[in-house]
Structure 1
Amino acid sequence: MADEIETIAANLPRLKDLSTVTENAARRLKRGNPAFAADLAIAVHRRYGSKADGKWQYRSLLDQLLRLLTTTPGRANLEQTLRLVALTDAGKSKRDSAYVASLLADAHAPRDLALVFTGGSSQARASEELRACLAHELLLRGVNVTAEPGMARWTNSPHWRYHPLGRLPLSLAAFEECPDLPSYSASGGSWSVPYGDATDGPQAVRKSASPHPTATETTTESAAKSISAAVSNWSMESNGQVEARTFALPEPLPPEAVPATLDSLPLDSFKAPSAGNRPALYRCSATAAWRQLFAAASQGGAYNEGLRGAYGRLAAWQSLAALSGVPEHASSEEIEQAALACDWYSFGAGTKWFYNVMWDIGLVAVTPDGRRLAVLAATDTD
C-alpha cells in the first residue's frame, strides 16, 4: 500500500480529475480501511505541503480526504481524522480547526468525540484549538459538554478559559434557540438562510403621528466595530456593506414612535428610494436577532465560508452585546439579561441600499429605558 500511495502522490500534479483517487479512498473506507485516506493525505502533504502554490490538486485532495473521514461515523475513522489533522495543514490554523470541528460535530456521536478531549496517540493528539472549537460546536447541537463522559474534565478545567472562546458560557443562553447549523456529506453541505424580516413577533409596527424625540448620534469607532462583528466577514471577505450606528434619545422612546424616529435618522440603509416605499418595521425577539447574527457570522456571505459554529457564536454574542448597549467586558450573564430586556425590531430590504439578493439584515435594538437606539444593517451580493 505504501508504494501505491507514493505513486499517487507523485502523479498528483498531472491529474485533471481527482475522482478516481477519491473513489478509491472511499471504497477502502467502506471496507474498513480508513488508514488509506489518512496515509494518502499525509504523504501528499509531505511531498507538496510547503510547495503547494499553484497546485489545486493538493488543496482539493486534502479537503476531500478530510471530508470523507470526518463525515463517516465510527471511532476508527475519527482516529484517522486526528492523525490527518495532526500531521498536515488541515489543523494548523484557527480557521482550519473551526472547520474540522464543525465537520466532526455534525457526523460523530458525542461518546466517540470524547477521544478528541482525552488524548490519543502522539500522532493523533488533538490541539487545544480543535478541542475549544469542538466543545462549542457540540454545545450548539444540544450536547451538555460539561457533563458528557470524556469531555467534562477538559471543559471544566480552568486552563483553557484564557482562550478567546472561553468568554462564552458552556450552556446555551435563552436566546440561542434552534441555531442554524450546516449538514455535511463527503461531497458537500447544506445551510438554511434565516435572513430578511424576523417576523416571529407581532405584526409590523405602525408609525405614530405623535412627535418623537430628537436623537443624537453617539456612534464611536469601537461601538461600530463591535456591533458589526457578526457581519464583518461580509464586508472584509466578500462584496458586502455594513451600517452600524448608535443614538441617544432625550426622553424614553415608545414603540409606536420607533418608525418615525428611524425615518428622522441619517441612516443610509433606511432611506427610501421614493415616497411611499419604505422598509416595513417588525417587532422581533432577541432570539430572532441572534439567529440572524449567528447565521451571518458562521455561514459567511456570498464569497466566503464564514467562521463556523464556535467563532460564529462568539461574533454573534459580540454583536448582540454591542447592540444591547452593555459594557465591552460585561459577563455572559449581563449580556443575556440585557439582550432579553431590549426591544428588538427587524426591517426588510426595502431600500436601494440593500442588494436584495439573499444576504440582507436590518436590526434595531432599543434599551429598556428607551434612551438608546442601535442599528445594524448588512447586505452582500455575488
Structure 2
Amino acid sequence: MPDLKRVTEVWDTAEHRLAQGDVAFVADLGIALADRYGSSAARIWQYRSVFDRLLRLLTMAPGPGHAEQAVRLVSAASPDNRKLVRYAASLLAEGQTPHDLTFVFAGGSSRAAASEELRACLVHEMVLRGVMIAESPAIEAWATSPHWRHHPLAWMPLELSVIEEKPPLPSYSVGGGSYSMPYGPQDGPGVTLGSVTHLPQVTDTTTEEFSEAAAAAVANWTEESNGRSEAGMYDLAEPVEPEGLPDLLVTLGLECLSRVSPRKRLALSSCRAEHAWRMLFAAASTGGAYNNGEYGAYGRLAAWRSVAALSGVPTAAPVSEVEENAQACGWYSFGAATKWFERVAWDIGLVSVAPGARRMAVLAATDTD
C-alpha cells in the first residue's frame, strides 16, 4: 500500500463489496491493514486514507449490521487509540439510529467488542444530537449504572441543558465532513477608549488552576496546532459599569490586548451565555487549524469546564450549578487587531462579569494555519 500513488481503486473495491451486501469484508479489510502495518500505520497516508474511508462507509450507512462491523473494526484495529474511539463514536451517532446502536450497550458478544470508552463517548454524542437516553432502556441502564460514575464524562447530564441549545455539530458523509465556526476575528465597530475617568481598583487573582480550567476548551489549539491562549481572573474593589469595561480590559496587562490604540481598536459586544458555550464547544470539539479537536463527547466536557471556571464555579460542582452561575453572569465577546490575535479564522475573546460586577474573568485564544 505505501507504494500506491492513489487509493481510489481500494475505495471502489470496498464500496462495491458493501453494495453487494458483504459488510464484513469492509471491516475485514481495515483489520487486515491494521495488522499488516501496525505501529507504522499512522505515518502512511495511504493507510490513513483507506482506513478512514472504510470506517465512514460502515458508519454512514444506517443499519445494525453496518454499526456492528464498524465497532468491530475500531475495537480490533486500534483498541487503545482514544482519538479514534472518540471519532468513531461521533460518526456512529451521526450516521446510525439509537435503535441500531442499542447492541453496544446490551449483553452478548456484540457488546463485548465495544470498549467502555466507546460507550461513554457514544452516550454523549447521542445526547448532543438530541437523543433522549431515557427512552432507550438498554442505553439508560448502562449510562446510569454505578460502575462508570467515576468516568470523566459521567459528570455531565444525560440530556441537553438550556445553555447548550443546539450544539454546532459537524456534518459527516462518506467523502468528508464540514462544520460551522461560531468564532473568528471581531470586526465590529471599535469602542472608544479613554472616555471613562474612573475605573475600579483591580486585584489579579489568577491561579494556575484557574488558567488551566478556563482554557480547557482551547487546550487542543495550543497542544496540537499553532495556537496560544491567555486567561485571567480579577477582583474589583467596586462594581464596573458596562461602559467602563473596555477601558478596564486594556488596563489588565493582557498580552492579547497589548498596544491597543485608536488604530488597533478593541471590538467588544455583549453576548448570551449560550453563545459563549457554543464558541467554547466548537473550539473544543472541532479543533484548530491543524487538528480535529476532541470530538463531541469530550468537546462538551471541555466546554463545560471552561464555562465553570469563567463563571467562578469549582469544576467539581454539578453542571446545574455551573449553568445557573453562567446564566447569572454578564458575557461579552471581544477581539482586537493586535499582533497577538492571528485574525485568520480561529479567534476567541470572552469576558464574564459576575453578578454584582465585582469579579471578572477573561479568556482569549487564537490559532493559525
Query: Given the two structures, how large is their TM-score scaled by the length of structure 1?
Result: 0.90
Alignment of 1:24 with 2:13, yes or no, is yes
Please give the alpha-carbon distance, in whole angstroms, between the structure 2 residues aligned to 1:155 and 1:320. 24
Question: C-alpha displacement at 1:272, in angstroms?
Answer: 4.2
Alignment of 1:234 with 2:250, yes or no, is no
Question: C-alpha displacement at 1:322, in angstroms?
Answer: 0.4
Q: Which among 340, 348, 353 is matched to residue 327 of structure 2?
A: 340
**Range with greater deviation from structure 2 (118-127 or 168-177):** 118-127
Specify the code of the residue in structure 2 equivalent to 1:164. Answer: P
Please give the alpha-carbon distance, in whole angstroms, between the structure 1 residues aligned to 2:353 and 2:345. 26
| Overall identity of the aligned pairs, in % | 54
Specify the code of the residue in structure 2 equivalent to 1:137. Answer: E
Per-residue displacement from partner, 1:161-216 (whole Å, max 9, x unpaired)?
111111111122221011110011112110101103799xxx98877635120211
Q: Using a 3 Å threshold, how does the CA distance of structure 1 residues 69 and 352 change in structure 2: closer, same or farther?
A: same
Q: Given that residues 349 and 361 in structure 1 are in contact (C-alpha distance below 8 angstroms), is that contact kept between their aligned partners in structure 2? A: no
Question: C-alpha displacement at 1:263, in angstroms?
Answer: 2.4
Question: C-alpha displacement at 1:276, in angstroms?
Answer: 4.8
Q: For residue 348 of structure 2, give the secondary structure of its aligned residue in structure 1.
A: strand
Per-residue displacement from partner, 1:207-235 (whole Å, max 9, x unpaired)?
76351202111111111111111001111
**Range with greater deviation from structure 2 (261-270 or 57-66):** 57-66
Equivalence map 1:357-368=2 (5 Å): 357-368=344-355
Specify the code of the residue in structure 2 equivalent to 1:243. Answer: E
Please give the alpha-carbon distance, in whole angstroms, between the structure 2 residues aligned to 1:99 and 1:61. 15
Q: Given that residues 206 and 256 in structure 1 are in contact (C-alpha distance below 8 angstroms), is that contact kept between their aligned partners in structure 2? A: no
Alignment of 1:313 with 2:309, yes or no, is no
Q: Given that residues 196 and 361 in structure 1 are in contact (C-alpha distance below 8 angstroms), is that contact kept between their aligned partners in structure 2? A: yes
Please give the alpha-carbon distance, in whole angstroms, between the structure 1 residues aligned to 2:196 and 2:76. 66
Unmatched tracts of structure 1, length 5 or more: 1-11
The match for 1:290 is 277
Q: For residue 317 of structure 2, give the secondary structure of its aligned residue in structure 1.
A: coil
Q: For residue 266 of structure 2, give the secondary structure of its aligned residue in structure 1.
A: coil
The match for 1:6 is none
Alignment of 1:105 with 2:59, yes or no, is no
Specify the code of the residue in structure 2 equivalent to 1:228. Answer: A
Q: For residue 14 of structure 1, give the secondary structure of its aligned residue in structure 2.
A: coil
Question: C-alpha displacement at 1:143, in angstroms?
Answer: 0.6
Per-residue displacement from partner, 1:31-87 (whole Å, max 9, x unpaired)?
222111011112222222245465433333222211111111111111111221221
Question: C-alpha displacement at 1:146, in angstroms?
Answer: 2.7
Per-residue displacement from partner, 1:331-359 (whole Å, max 9, x unpaired)?
21211111111110011343332111000
Q: For residue 280 of structure 2, give the secondary structure of its aligned residue in structure 1.
A: helix
Q: Given that residues 265 and 336 in structure 2 are in contact (C-alpha distance below 8 angstroms), is that contact kept between their aligned partners in structure 1? A: no
Q: Which among 161, 178, 184 is matched to residue 173 of structure 1?
A: 161
Q: Given that residues 127 and 160 in structure 2 are in contact (C-alpha distance below 8 angstroms), is that contact kept between their aligned partners in structure 1? A: yes
Unmatched tracts of structure 2, length 5 or more: none
Specify the code of the residue in structure 2 equivalent to 1:158. Answer: P
The match for 2:141 is 153
Q: For residue 67 of structure 1, give the secondary structure of its aligned residue in structure 2.
A: helix
Q: Using a 3 Å threshold, how does the CA distance of structure 1 residues 286 and 277 change in structure 2: closer, same or farther?
A: same
Specify the code of the residue in structure 1 equivalent to 2:292. Answer: E
Alignment of 1:299 with 2:286, yes or no, is yes
Please give the alpha-carbon distance, in whole angstroms, between the structure 1 residues aligned to 2:159 and 2:239. 34
Equivalence map 1:3-82=2 (5 Å): 12-50=1-39, 52=41, 54-82=43-71
Specify the code of the residue in structure 2 equivalent to 1:222. Answer: E
Question: C-alpha displacement at 1:124, in angstroms?
Answer: 6.1
Equivalence map 1:225-304=2 (5 Å): 225-304=212-291
Please give the alpha-carbon distance, in whole angstroms, between the structure 2 residues aligned to 1:305 and 1:230. 13
Per-residue displacement from partner, 1:297-333 (whole Å, max 9, x unpaired)?
0010001110000000010001000001112321212
Q: For residue 109 of structure 2, give the secondary structure of its aligned residue in structure 1.
A: coil
Q: Given that residues 218 and 248 in structure 1 are in contact (C-alpha distance below 8 angstroms), is that contact kept between their aligned partners in structure 2? A: yes
Query: Given the two structures, how large is their TM-score scaled by the length of structure 2?
Result: 0.93
Q: For residue 373 of structure 1, give the secondary structure of its aligned residue in structure 2.
A: strand
Q: Using a 3 Å threshold, how does the CA distance of structure 1 residues 349 and 209 change in structure 2: closer, same or farther?
A: closer
Q: For residue 175 of structure 1, give the secondary structure of its aligned residue in structure 2.
A: helix
Please give the alpha-carbon distance, in whole angstroms, between the structure 1 residues aligned to 2:306 and 2:221. 14
Q: Which among 301, 312, 316 is matched to residue 325 of structure 1?
A: 312
Please give the alpha-carbon distance, in whole angstroms, between the structure 2 residues aligned to 1:151 and 1:143. 11
Question: C-alpha displacement at 1:269, in angstroms?
Answer: 1.5
Specify the code of the residue in structure 2 equivalent to 1:27. Answer: H
Q: How many residues were matched structurally? A: 367
Specify the code of the residue in structure 2 equivalent to 1:73. Answer: P
The match for 2:115 is 127
The match for 1:350 is 337
Q: For residue 351 of structure 1, give the secondary structure of its aligned residue in structure 2.
A: coil
**Range with greater deviation from structure 2 (32-41 or 358-367):** 32-41
Per-residue displacement from partner, 1:11-44 (whole Å, max 9, x unpaired)?
x343222111111111111222211101111222
Q: For residue 234 of structure 2, give the secondary structure of its aligned residue in structure 1.
A: strand
Please give the alpha-carbon distance, in whole angstroms, between the structure 1 residues aligned to 2:43 and 2:306. 37
Q: Which among 116, 127, 131 is matched to residue 139 of structure 1?
A: 127
The match for 1:9 is none
The match for 1:3 is none
Specify the code of the residue in structure 2 equivalent to 1:116. Answer: V
Specify the code of the residue in structure 2 equivalent to 1:42. Answer: I
Please give the alpha-carbon distance, in whole angstroms, between the structure 2 residues aligned to 1:192 and 1:174. 20
